[in-house]
Structure 1
Amino acid sequence: MVRKLKYHEQKLLKKVDFISWKVDNNLHEVKVLRRFGIQKREDYTKRVVECIGPAFLSFWQSQPGVTTDVLTLQEDDVLEDEKSSIFDEDNVSFLRSLDPKEWKDQDHYAVLGLSKLRHKATDDDIKRAYRIKVLHHHPDKRKGKGEEIRPDDDYFTCITKAWEVLGNPRNRRSYDSIDPLFDDSIPTASKKSTFFETFGKTFEENARWSERQPVPKLGGALSPREQVDRFYSFWYNFESWREYSYLDEEETEKGQSREERRWIEKQNKVTRARRKKEEMARIRTLVDTAYELDPRVLKFKQDEKDRKLAMKQAKKDAIRARFEEEERKVQEAEEAARKLKEQADAEEKAKQDALRAEREAQKKALKKEKTNLRKLVKANSYYVTNDSEMIKHMESLEKICESMDIDGIIKLVSDLSLNGREDYIKAITEAEQRIEQERQELMEVAKRSSSNQGQGKGNLAPWSSEQLQLLIKAVNIYPAGTSQRWDVVANFINQHNASGNVIRSAKEVLAKAKNLKSSDYSKNVLKVAANEKAYDNFEKEHKSNVDIDATTSQRFDNPAEQQGYSTTPWTAKEQQLLEQALKTYPASTAERWDKIAECVPSRSKKDCIKRYKEYNKLSRQVRELARKVKDLDPKDPFRVDCSAQLLEKLFIMGLIPTKWDLSLCDNITASSFCQRRLPVIMVKNKMSERISMATKFIEQGHVRVGAEVVKDPAFLVSRNMEDFVTWVNSSAIRKHVMEYNEMRDDFDML
């Protein structure tokens, strides 16, 4: 007699083979056979189904030969699985301590007895564990043993929920993402000897979250650099599959309406994204900590540092060698030039000596002929007929000697030997005429020069009181010793003269200054008259009833304000107005700085002049420093080091194109500094079309240099930082640029 199967026994009969085949009259006959009683045939169609329900049980019980052996086999299989070492021992007290209402907070692996395997358990392991729990703790079976069952609050519900979570791959993945036994902590600083053990274990545990497999190992102390770089490159680009839908506070299906369900789904997505971001930050912190403490990375960095130092030293040695070679060539060129100069000087000296010898010979010959002439004239008693002519002829002899050349004297001596007195009288007359002609020419020249001077003085414009004050002020500003002092003073007077009609030259300024210096103002009639009437004027002024408004004196916080300078920094707009005014009014414009100050309403004349001189002063200091370095001995190592450091600094600042020639420092001007301003660099990098537009972007906070946001348009960008000028991450301009270049991804759109 076949007994009636219970409910839990019906559930154990899950899989049977369903066989169908076609007969001649197109009818199908269905038979349910036991598992091990089927013989295969080629025309059978075989598939696995789960037969349940009262109709199937009635059919099963009506078949001949059906016994309880099947149930016995099922129980034997469960007992064999239970003896396996991968499953935990059945802990009834733990299961009874579970609260079915708090099933979401329970450890599903521990409930099914898989706490040893956890995420490593296969689907078959989970299925076998669930079968064991069902066999031992099903309510019907426990009820048959006499145990009291509470349908609404039975711990078997926790087993069912554990199976629903772990038996479904999607639900299991969601639960594994928040495994309560997983350690999310990050190891702190450790010793070098325990680094690989500590962090190797941590990275192996976190490797389970990787989307990409296989995950590279941390390696050991002897791992090559390629392996270390590949390991950290993988973890710095780590992609985690962890998702936190299991921790959703509200389920979407509980929403009463579509709008409520959408709102719940939106809130869940925000929470998941936040937790996902925290997880990626944790992974990044773990990798950063390991990278900072990794002894291999520290060794690689030290090796790289030593290599760079060696390269830098080699570069310095090369620069020093290049400088020494250049200095050697310069010295050789100077030595060759010196030799050529000495040779030329020797030749020139020989020529001069020859000319000097020739002149000496001519002088001696002239002196000899003059002596012969004097002897001849003296021997003939100066060709006089009476004593009254003696003195005149003696004086005339000296005039003849001074006015005639050697050829004339020789000819005169020969003529005197023939004719005597007549030729001597004739020579005296010619000498006097020659001397008188020269005197007349000198008088004409002197007369013309004096007339020109008188005419020039007659055209000089009178000096006004304003010009005299400017002259006194300029003489005090530019003291004695100033290069081209009087030209500078004249330019100062012409530039600041209000009238601008009279242009003063340096000679006029010098003459007027001497005149003022030599004048005695104590004898001035006007001054005497003013002194006599001083008391009367004083008495008259004090008798008049005039109300004088007394005002409190103004207090200045610093000497700059007292001298008329403003202490507020220059804005970009003021700088643009100043630069435009400097271009509009060149240096030759009269009252130039007054007109420039009018173009910059918020600044005074002194502020504009001071601003203009700042960059000029800095560039002048750089040129002066370069000149001092050039004056040092070329062979001095100190000069070589100073030259290299100065050129390196100026090259990094972007003021010179190369760092090999000190002569480039002479080309540094105020414009060189202006070319390194941030708006100019933005135009050069094609980030803006115009400097004015770039200035607006900077003031609005759209631009950063490296990690620092810069809002000052006057910021000077060095050559090293020129490539790090870019848009701020939150800038709308950056987003438009990335959209145009099709570079935006989903992460940037969050």
Structure 2
Amino acid sequence: MPTLTCVSPSPPFKTTSTSALSCGLRFVELTTSLPLGLAKREVAPVSPGSLGKKKKIDLFKHPNIEDVSLYDVLGGLEFTVTPEEVKKAYHQACLIYHPDKTGLTEDDPVFLSVKKAFDTLSNPEKKRTYDSSANFDDSIPPADLKERKFYAMFGEVNQFYQYWINFESWRDFTLAASKKCDHDVEGAEGREEKRWMMNEISSTCKKMKKAEVKRISDLLERSMNLDPRLRREKERAAAEKEEKAGREEREKREKEETEKREKEEAEKSAAEEELERKTKAANMKAVKDKEKKMLRKQKNLFRKLAMKAFETGGDDNWGSLVEANDEVEFLIEKLDLMTLPALSAALGNSEETLDTNGIKIVRGAFKSTKSGAENAFLVEEREKIKRADEAKAKEEADKAARAPRPWSAAELNALHKAVKKNPVGGGGKWEIIANYINQTLALPLPRSKDECLKEWNAICKKNAEMAEEKFKGADEDEAGETAKEEKVDDPNAWSADEVADLQKALKKFNSKMEKNERWTQIARFVATKNKKMCVDKYKEIRASLKK
């Protein structure tokens, strides 16, 4: 087990030497890790029997009795000896060193040493003071100790550091301070001198205690600084702290991004709702304006027809123009867009088809409206108009349902994916494709399998037509290019410029020249044709002229 320099032989440590006091209690050995919950200075003593006995010293033969430890004076006791054992050892020593046995006086230094040993070791406080003055090795390892030597000098267990952090030394420096100050309190001549000596000793004790605490603190600090396990733990804690900070930063950033995204979505949703509200309000306003315009138009038409009917022959029904005007204006004010057209229709709907018999219907409507009762004619006309509007709406809905709905880009893309996932031969293929499109896009008006099949056939037909047109165009282009290439690449073809050059050469080099030389010069003049080609072209031109 590793050894450690220590200030006291306090458990759970035991001495490495069987003669602890004779060697000054210099080293202690860590036996086990400290038990959890070990209180300060509440430790069980080490059994004296486990430490063994030292060889007894003959005090009469010792040259300097003052240099012998009190434990050796009583027969080589260990520092863990109990008061009962001290008393027993003292009795045995008296049998040897008492003046009654030796014949010496009571001032015999040996017997005085025996008495001093008994008085000191039998008193726990005096014994602790004496033990504290032993020659301890107060040195501590240097701060630059190499890591490879660390375990040989310092402990291995984590409890070790906790023990020494909370350690309180029980060493009493009174005796050591007395020796250092060279004061004998018992030999003081007066009370003042004794008080002065005690103050000096107390001051020295405090300084020695302070140095003791600092030495232990330095030892602990150096040990913790050199322990690679503590360094690794610090590095691990730092890495964990950094990871935690990074995780918190990521969580904070993700939270901010989520809040930002939710805010943007909320703003977008609010903007869409506001746009929808404004659009709806605008549509409602447009409908109301249209209804107002139509109502105003119907009012003017009814007023115009009623006055025309009165002028034409309405005096038989209305007593006067004022009466007719009052009744007409009353109806215009009370009736709505559903009933006014019915009265206008009763009057013929126009001046050209004016029907004065409708005045009776108008007057009946006036009487029933004024009395608050429903007019049968108006009720019937209102129902007719309502049924006509419903029939028209149904017809438009049926027409819209029968009309093929255009396919959006998203729908076409989903259709292509669905067809690719469901090859030919699968049972219920187009039902699966329709369900895939409807579930993927969540369409408000689902697509049927017939629509999907029809659209796919149209796409295939269109692709086939485009491919055929492209193929035809490619054939025509290829044929044109081939003809062009044949025309350009034909070596026997003559251009107009080449023919003109040939004619000039024939004039320049006449027939008086040697025949072979002449055609050689002509070919050189034309440049793009050889001698044979020039001869053949000349013969061709001459033959055409003869014709």
TM-score above 0.5? no
State which structure, 1 or 2, has the greater radius of gyration over its C-alpha atoms: 2
For the aligned pair, the TM-score class normalised by the smaller chain equals: 0.3 to 0.5
What's the TM-score once normalised by structure 1's chain length? 0.26
Higher relative contact order (Cα pairs below 8 Å, separated by 6+ residues):
2
